[in-house]
Amino acid sequence: MRYRKATMSDADNLLKWKNQADTRKYAIKTHKKISKKDHLKWLEKNLLGNWIIHSDFGTVRLVDNEIAIRVATVAQGKGVGREAINHFKKRGMTAKIVVGNVASLRLFINCGFKPIKYEKGYYIFQY
């Protein structure tokens, strides 16, 4: 699988993945749908660290030694997330996973991450 750095031209896909029902359900900050205006404002400040999974299958975000992943609904369950995490993971890297997000819990555990801490509503895993 190949990866490329995200650009502002990826904004629509990034927003689409961000607003998928399963993504909003397990979001840490808000479960509400993100508006395009708010997304573009956020993206202008946070574009760095976002990678697009080849063929627009999703995004991997790497910021301050933390990894986050969103996989397009059509690509879920096909190993895309596992391959992406294994490609980018480094020792000491962390991931935040919301309580109840069983798919992400399994994914990160299968990629070698271990739970190290619980915070209000989510676990912190470390590789």
pLDDT over 90, % of the chain: 83
Residue type, 111: C
DSSP single-letter state for residue 61: E
Residue 63 has pLDDT above 90, yes or no: yes
Residue type, 20: Q
- pLDDT tens digits for range 66-122: 999 999 999 999 999 999 999 999 999 999 999 999 999 999 999 999 999 999 999
Amino acid of residue 28: I
- Section 48-62 average pLDDT: 91
Residues 6+ apart with CB under 8 A from 106: none
What pLDDT, on the 0 to 100 scale, is given for residue 12?
Answer: 95
User: 77 Cβ partners below 8 Å, 6+ apart?
Assistant: none
Domain residue extents for the chain: 3-89
- By the 8 A CB rule, do 70 and 52 touch? no
Q: Is domain 3-89 in CATH 3.40.50.1000, yes or no?
A: no
Give me the phi and psi of 107, to 5 degrees please. Answer: -60, -50
